[in-house]
């Protein structure tokens, strides 16, 4: 799964936020945008599949079962081309239909996995269940899109539109690649400097610290169309709402951080057993990095509306380099907690320090920092 993740940027192409923005701004041409995004993601999925497959067989990665699992998981990227419909529903603030489709697929997938567990099927079948989940979700999303009258049977790849979309999305595409490295490199370096037991402990800390990220992600995707429209209709209110969402993200992260710091060890023991309790300190450090992650999502929302996503790429690339340096210095000194410290420092540095060197985004960074005051949660409007 970690190997397959490195090819995800071919499949996503950084199009999700850009597609939502364009559909929101050009509602009458939604079908041309959805069709073009579908074909771009289909091509990207095929490229990811071919590249990943070529890589594992060229360099003989893993044994036969591992290669078969990777092949199946890579196939899932092709099915994700139907996410183009998801972007349409996000732009229309109709995500409940996507949730219905994905939940149906999820329930079917869970049923398959339980069946495979009870009858002791091999791990390859669980990879099949994961891909089957994506396929069923894609089918249900398309059927709902068609039955609601949005599909006219005229999806085409508009080359001019595709070029314009990719021109705006490529920074996000490369950012996805760097973020993948960012999220995996600490575990690779822990294995190199320490041992696999330490990797297991750190993986638990990371899983638990990231478990709540879906909340700010859903909030940002839901609010994206609102901010795009508001920017053009009421600039003053738009800037004030940006302050409010930054404040919400900060205080939400603070609450999660306090709760996990107080009860994290008990949660680890409850979910994973007493043998994993040494992951607590790494979990505590990682959970506070969630504040920067959630505010960073709000910043990405602003960058998309202002078409400044190139700075997301620059910041992510610098952050990856700093994180590798931090891991190199801190892991030998503090073990898995050193990796967590490196993550916390580089996340904060990437959000509130690196952007200060760029004039175009410096003002927003200062605004996001000052917006952490709870005062903005209570005010209705400036």
Instruction: Name the more confident of 6 and 255.
Output: 255
Tens digit of each residue's pLDDT (9 = 90 or more) over 163-220: 999 999 999 889 888 888 887 788 888 988 998 889 889 999 998 999 999 899 889 9
Whether 85 and 142 have beta carbons less than 8 Å apart is answered as yes
> What pLDDT is stored for residue 222 in this prediction?
86
How far apart are the C-alpha atoms of 235 and 306, rounded to whole Å? 12
Whether 139 and 85 have beta carbons less than 8 Å apart is answered as no
Average pLDDT over residues 361-380: 81
Whether 158 and 35 have beta carbons less than 8 Å apart is answered as yes
Per-residue confidence band for 382, with pLDDT thresholds at 50, 70 and 90: low
**Which contiguous run of DSSP H or E holds residue 81?**
none
Cβ neighbours for 374, distance < 8 A, ≥ 6 positions apart: 247, 251
> What pLDDT is stored for residue 93 in this prediction?
83
Closest to 286 (Cα-Cα) out of 344, 242, 325: 344
Average pLDDT over residues 314-326: 92
Whether 137 and 102 have beta carbons less than 8 Å apart is answered as yes
What global pTM score does this model have? 0.83
What is the distance, to the nearest Å, from the Cα of residue 120 to the centroid of all Cα atoms in its chain? 32
Whether 222 and 91 have beta carbons less than 8 Å apart is answered as no
Tens digit of each residue's pLDDT (9 = 90 or more) over 18-38: 999 999 998 888 999 999 999
Whether 260 and 208 have beta carbons less than 8 Å apart is answered as yes
Give 202-271 as a 3 state SS string. Answer: HHHHHHHHHCCCHHHHHHHHHHHHHHHHHHHHCHHHHHHHHHHHHHHHHHHHHHHHHHHHHHHHHHHHHH
Closest to 55 (Cα-Cα) out of 44, 40, 70: 70
């Amino acid at each position: 799964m970690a190997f397959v993740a490195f090819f995800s940027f071919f499949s996503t192409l950084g199009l999700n936020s850009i597609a939502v923005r364009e559909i929101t701004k050009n509602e009458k041409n939604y079908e041309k945008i959805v069709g073009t995004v579908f074909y771009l993601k289909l091509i990207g999925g095929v490229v990811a599949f071919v590249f990943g497959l070529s890589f594992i067989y060229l360099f003989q990665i893993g044994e036969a079962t591992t290669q078969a699992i990777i092949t199946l998981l890579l196939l899932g990227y092709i099915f994700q081309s139907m996410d183009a419909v998801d972007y349409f529903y996000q732009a229309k603030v109709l995500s409940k239909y996507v949730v219905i489709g994905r939940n149906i697929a999820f329930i079917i997938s869970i049923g398959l996995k339980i069946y495979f567990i009870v009858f002791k099927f091999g791990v390859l079948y669980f990879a099949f269940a994961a891909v089957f989940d994506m396929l069923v979700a894609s089918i249900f999303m398309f059927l709902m899109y068609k039955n609601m009258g949005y599909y006219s049977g005229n999806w085409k790849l508009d080359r001019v539109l595709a070029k314009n979309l990719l021109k705006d999305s490529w920074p996000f595409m490369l950012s996805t690649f760097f973020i993948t490295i960012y999220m995996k490199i600490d575990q690779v370096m822990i294995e190199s400097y320490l041992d696999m037991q330490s990797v297991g402990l750190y993986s638990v800390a990371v899983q638990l610290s990231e478990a709540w990220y879906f909340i700010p992600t859903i909030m940002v995707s839901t609010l994206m169309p609102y901010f795009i429209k508001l920017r053009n209709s009421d600039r003053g209110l738009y800037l004030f709402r940006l302050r409010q969402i930054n404040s919400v993200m900060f205080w939400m992260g603070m609450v999660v951080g306090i709760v996990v710091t107080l009860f994290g060890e008990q949660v680890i023991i409850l979910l994973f057993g007493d043998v994993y309790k040494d992951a607590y300190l790494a979990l505590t450090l990682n959970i506070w990095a969630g504040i920067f992650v959630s505010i960073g999502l709000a910043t990405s929302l602003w960058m998309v509306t202002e078409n400044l996503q190139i700075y997301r790429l620059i910041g992510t690339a610098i952050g990856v380099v700093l994180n590798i340096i931090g891991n190199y210095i801190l892991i030998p000194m503090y073990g898995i907690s050193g990796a967590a410290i490196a993550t916390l420092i580089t996340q904060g540095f990437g959000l509130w320090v690196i952007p200060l060197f760029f004039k175009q985004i410096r003002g927003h960074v200062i605004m996001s920092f000052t917006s952490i005051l709870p005062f903005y949660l209570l005010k209705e409007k400036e």
